């Protein structure tokens, strides 16, 4: 009887048992308050939810960092991001109304 040893053994399917677990992000009450205020302001000031998410996660030269990170760090950071959102809203006031029906 001849046994074929050249055949590759079947690979076992991976299970989730040994994957790394990432703990959820925990915000302090102050950070949660600032985040809530920032998200509400961004969603009402920018033309779409996607635009708000992109703005919050993209580094801004005028702010010197990511708007969401700055707002989470301090009240002063939150205020500077809110001021920038206001400038953006005033610069393009009709964009929000154009995107609402989409």
Secondary structure of the chain in the HEC alphabet? CCCCCCCCCCCCCCCCCCCCCCCCCCCCHHHHHHHHHHHHHHHHHCCCHHHHHHHHHCCECCCCECHHHHHHHCHHHHHHHHHHHHHHHHHCCCHHHHHHCC
Q: Where are the domains of the chain?
A: 29-100
Mean pLDDT of 7-33: 75
Instruction: Give the pLDDT score at 42.
Output: 95
| Structure confidence at residue 36 (pLDDT) | 96
Q: What is the mean pLDDT of residues 17-25?
A: 72
What's the whole-number mean pLDDT along residues 35-62?
94
pLDDT digits (tens, 9 = 90+) for 78-98: 999 999 999 988 887 665 543
Spatial separation of the C-alpha atoms in residues 80 and 5, rounded to whole Å: 68
């Amino acid at each position: 009887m001849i046994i074929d040893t050249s055949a590759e053994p079947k690979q076992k399917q991976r299970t989730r048992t040994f994957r790394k677990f990432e703990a959820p992000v925990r915000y302090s009450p102050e950070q949660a308050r600032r985040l809530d205020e920032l998200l509400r302001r961004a969603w009402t000031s920018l033309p779409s939810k996607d635009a708000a998410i992109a703005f919050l996660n993209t580094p801004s030269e005028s702010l010197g960092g990511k708007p969401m990170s700055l707002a989470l760090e301090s009240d002063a950071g939150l205020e500077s991001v809110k001021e920038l959102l206001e400038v953006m809203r005033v610069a393009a006031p009709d964009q929000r109304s154009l995107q609402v029906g989409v």
